[in-house]
Amino acid sequence: MKKLIFTFVFISILGIFQGNANEQTERTVVAVNGLNLRESPTLEAEVITSVPFLDRVTLLNEAVSETDTLGAVDFSDFIDGTFTDYIVGEWVKVQYHNKEGYVFNAYLMQEYLDEPLHSAESEYAIAFAGWDCVDNIHRNKDLQWKGLFQTSSGYEMRVVELEYYMDVDEMGAWYATITQSNDFPLFVIGAVADKFKSGAVKGTYFKDKWFLGHEQGVSTIENLTINFLENESFLTINEGNQQQKIALSEGVQIIWKGDLDGDGKDDYLFTAGEESNSVNLYLSSEAAEGELVKQVASYYPGYCC
């Protein structure tokens, strides 16, 4: 009986280890337009098939080439300013269904995406061009993306296409977002339907409007009131005779106030919290009765990796 129990436990443990080993060899494709599986480790090799965005491949060999650089990418965002990054990686051998071939691993997640933060059901999303952590890769393939750009006469919404690639350094595995635009968007928003129209947008972009929770008191910026009291912190939106209070934790950065969804009413984008913060998108068109706006999406630029 003891032998049977030992055998059962041993087999169970072995199965767990094997399951973990198999899971560790899986990688998720983050190339939005698909990743080419090639017959040999070079861009000139014949394409066997294209692996769709977010499909998984089995890693057969960690690296079959020296580190290579596919190109340089210029970025500008409200977190890091303007900088240049490089798409760096190696060719690896993988299996996709019953086919084996080679892919460039800058377009593979470094670990298995198990429970994504932004699920496939998310109808709205926020993104910023630049380095980021994996929780902000959006899984809904139906999202239509628009970037908000600053022009000489104000602001303009334009269609953009997001692309992701991995950026691995001594700090760990990151990913970067490209918007395929010659100009740098202030931020990018997405919706399942064509919610955000292209063209001129009325509003105000605030670059450095930080209000910190340890600085107790009341601050105002246009129609927004920020309260950091001894036992309560909140932001109040004031529009005519209407008000809406939004609870805060620690600090807040006001990023945008203006009409993004084309209903003639203001929408808002602000960062709440000093460290593990989130950028929250509030839309007037989704507000419930008695409300001015409703939170529809979040983005996490803080310590989320």
**Lookup: tokens for 80:** 């890091």
Q: How far is CA 227 from the centre of its chain?
A: 29
- The CA distance from 138 to 303, in Å, is 18
C-alpha distances out from residue 38 to 42, 103, 181, Å: 8, 6, 28
For residue 143, the 8-state DSSP code is -
5: enclosing H helix or E strand:
helix 2-24
For residue 229, the 8-state DSSP code is -
C-alpha distances out from residue 67 to 42, 54, 62, 128, Å: 12, 24, 12, 27
- The CA distance from 250 to 168, in Å, is 31
Q: How confident is the model over 264-280, as pLDDT tens digits? A: 999 999 988 765 578 89
Average pLDDT, the chain: 79
**Lookup: tokens for 179:** 């918007």
Cα atoms in the Cβ-side hemisphere of radius 13 Å centred on 33 = 5
pLDDT band for position 203 (cuts 50, 70, 90) = very high
pLDDT band for position 114 (cuts 50, 70, 90) = low
- Residue 12: predicted pLDDT: 38
| Arithmetic mean of pLDDT, 232-242 | 92
- Residue 169: predicted pLDDT: 57
- The CA distance from 97 to 281, in Å, is 39
72-86, 179-193, 223-237, range with the lowest pLDDT: 72-86
Whole-model pTM over 0.85: no
Higher-confidence residue of 31 and 62: namely 31
Contact 164, 28 (CB under 8 A): no
- Residue 275: predicted pLDDT: 54
- The CA distance from 287 to 117, in Å, is 23
| Arithmetic mean of pLDDT, 137-153 | 88
Q: How confident is the model over 49-87, as pLDDT tens digits? A: 999 998 999 999 877 777 777 777 776 555 556 667 778
Architecture of the domain spanning 2-63+92-104: Roll (2.30)
C-alpha distances out from residue 302 to 78, 137, 186, Å: 13, 14, 18
| Arithmetic mean of pLDDT, 193-212 | 89
- The CA distance from 217 to 7, in Å, is 67
* Every domain range in the chain assigned CATH 2.30.30.40: 2-63+92-104
- Residue 170: predicted pLDDT: 46
